Structure 1
Amino acid sequence: MKFERFQQLVRMMFLPDEAGNIRTRYENVDAANIHPLVLAYIGDAYFHLYVRMRLLSYEQTQVQALHAFSAQIVSALWQARAYRGISDMLTEEEQAIYRRARNTKSHAPRSASVADYHASTGLEALLGSLYIREEHERLEEITEAAFQIISKEMMNQQEQKHGH
């Protein structure tokens, strides 16, 4: 980001109040009124942290290995596979959040197919919505199910490659 753009964002986001403190623009955060890509932004951050914490039960010393492995798990490819595995456990409302984000216009990176990118965006938006709504039990249930699906598919892929 260029320095001028950064300065513009600071001026736009951080407005002082009468006392010179940073003014809060919104009194509350309502997931129903947040743009789907913003929900995905929050869900992506949550999923990254969840995966990193989960990986600590397997490895606690090799930061490069943790980083490389977590980056693989949170990729659009694996998130799309996770979504396909958990879709049956989602409520109608959760499916609607997923579809709304999946169908939002965005640009897929070269590292993912358009379909996988949109599916992962939908999953992240669902996680972001649950996080914002503070539905922690359901968020944990869905995220752990996604983690298990990804883990098992990764193990199956390794077994197929090595003929076990």
Structure 2
Amino acid sequence: MNFSHFQRLVRMMFEPDGTGGILQHYDHLTASDVRQLNPLVLAYVGDAYFHLFVRTRLLSYEQAKVQALHAFSAQIVSAKWQHKAYLGIESMLTDDEKAIYRRARNAKSHAPRSSTVAEYHSSTGFEALLGSLYLRDEDKRLYEIAEASFEVISKAMMQEIQAKSQA
């Protein structure tokens, strides 16, 4: 982002409302508003949600070692594991949810070196699905999918650890 774009965002974010406060531009979006958003924006929101969900979930196992929590949560939210999570929950998704996933999966973006291109695009779709549910205030469904995903990832990680220990 260049400096002029940053300045424009700051002016929009802190626009006075005429009463000494700041003008609020954000209300929760309708389902049709969410459908109009760039799928990478949905993934941006979904990524933040899943990070927070995983970090909170990990607190039931560890509360003292922040570096261990960070390292473990970073691994769980990686493209590799989010791809596996999507494969594990796909059968529980509605056609609309699958459509959101596909739209984001097919969005033009650049994969990092830490995952395959397919895993990266799949994780983008997964995150967009979470982001769309969050922005539409579908909290119950969002939690259901995030929890199921966490369980898929946990089981897959355990299987991988067991396979490595037997080798």
TM over 0.5: yes
Q: Which runs of 5+ in 2 are unaligned?
A: none
Q: Over the residues paired in the alignment, what is the CA RMSD in angstroms?
A: 1.9
Q: Equivalent residue for 1:19? A: 19
Distance 2:24 2:98 in 1: 32
Deviation per CA, 1:29-62, whole angstroms, max 9, x where unpaired? Answer: 2322222111111111110011011101111111
1:112-127 to structure 2, matched below 5 A, reads 112-127=115-130
Q: Which runs of 5+ in 1 are unaligned?
A: none
Q: Equivalent residue for 1:46? A: 49
Distance 1:2 1:153 in 2: 42
Q: Equivalent residue for 1:157? A: 160
- Number of aligned residues: 164
Distance 2:12 2:120 in 1: 30
Q: Equivalent residue for 1:37? A: 40
Q: Which amino acid aligns with 1:35?
A: N
Distance 1:90 1:79 in 2: 15
Q: Which amino acid aligns with 1:105?
A: K
| Pairwise CA distance, 1:28 | 4.3
Deviates more, 1:14-23 or 1:96-105: 14-23
Paired-residue identity, %: 65
Matched, 1:138 2:141: yes
Secondary structure of the residue aligned to 2:46 is: helix
Q: Equivalent residue for 2:132? A: 129
